[in-house]
Amino acid sequence: MSVKVSIPTILRPLTNDQKQIEAVGINVLEVIDQMDQQYPGIKEKLIAKGKPHRFINIYVNDNDIRFSDGLTTNLKDGDSLTILPAVAGG
């Protein structure tokens, strides 16, 4: 499935400063794997030990993957995947 992936500013140096890229996969992990083939190093910024880094939020359309099937969340053609670094402060 072809999906549009929104890339946060902090990761854009890995994607040649592109805000949005197209990627293919039947689930979130496959999309990240495909992105890593095209943009080496991006996967390690998103995933550790088979799970998203706790400071990275990943959404399929408007749904946080933590509240569905995580990295195995299925995708449909035309879905949007948004990567957002968590923001903390005090």
User: Can you give the residue ranges of every domain in the chain?
Assistant: 2-85
Model pLDDT, residue 89:
63
Query: Which tokens sit at 38?
Result: 């095209």
pTM score, whole prediction: 0.92
pLDDT digits (tens, 9 = 90+) for 21-40: 999 999 999 999 999 999 99
Q: Report how far apart, in Å, the C-alpha atoms of 43 and of each of 29, 39, 88, 89 are.
A: 9, 9, 22, 26
Give the mean pLDDT of 36-65: 96
Give the mean pLDDT of 1-28: 96
pLDDT at 61 over 70: yes
Domain 2-85 CATH (choose: 3.30.70.1560, 3.10.20.30, 3.40.250.10, 3.40.50.300): 3.10.20.30
